[in-house]
């Protein structure tokens, strides 16, 4: 069982993500969209996309950990934001938060700007796929 980072030489070198991750073995965990909801169901840090990203990652981490994995088991992560420009303007703190949760590992990643979320105060939502039980 293994994970192999796929970086085709015909594509730009990835920064902050990987183009692909080839996985052999393990168990698939499909991660539902997680916003910045607290345990009580309220959005934390209204108006602050960076703080909401951190809470959404905490929520994903809770699911992955409960399934017996860790954040580096996430092989695909999709980020949905209300305001792409606001998110991109926060690249340094966003990068610091991602490193805190993932270290030097990056999943395959996609970012989409959307018009709204289930919770009106949400600015960001993350969903993904983890493969638990692989050796790196």
Domain residue spans in the chain?
Answer: 2-132
Quick one: what percent of the chain has pLDDT higher than 90? 78
CATH of 2-132, one of 3.10.620.30, 3.90.1150.10, 3.30.1330.40, 3.40.50.2300: 3.30.1330.40
- Predicted confidence at residue 26, as pLDDT, reads 87
Label residue 134 by pLDDT band (50, 70, 90): low
112 bridge partner residues = 80
Any long-range contacts for 85-91 (C-beta under 8 Å, 24+ apart)?
86/49, 86/123, 87/49, 87/111, 87/124, 90/49, 90/50
Query: Residue 104 has what DSSP assignment?
Result: T
pLDDT above 70: residue 103: yes
Label residue 125 by pLDDT band (50, 70, 90): very high
Label residue 19 by pLDDT band (50, 70, 90): confident
pLDDT above 70: residue 136: no
**Interval 40-95: pLDDT, tens:** 999 999 999 999 999 999 999 999 999 999 999 999 999 999 999 999 999 999 99
H/E element, 87: helix 84-89
pLDDT above 80: residue 27: yes
Residue 25, helix vs strand vs coil: coil
């Amino acid at each position: 069982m293994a994970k192999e980072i796929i970086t085709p030489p015909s594509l730009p070198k990835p920064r902050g993500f990987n183009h692909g991750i080839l996985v052999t073995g393990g168990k698939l965990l499909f991660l539902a969209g997680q916003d910045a909801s607290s345990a009580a169901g309220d959005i934390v840090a209204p108006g602050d996309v960076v703080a909401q990203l951190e809470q959404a990652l905490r929520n994903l981490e809770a699911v992955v950990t409960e399934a017996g994995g860790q954040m580096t088991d996430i092989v695909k992560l999709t980020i949905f934001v209300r305001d792409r420009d606001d998110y991109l303007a926060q690249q340094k703190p966003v990068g610091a938060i991602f490193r805190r949760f993932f270290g030097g590992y990056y999943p395959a990643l996609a970012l989409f700007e959307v018009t709204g979320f289930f919770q009106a105060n949400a600015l960001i939502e993350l969903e993904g796929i983890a493969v638990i039980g692989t050796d790196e």
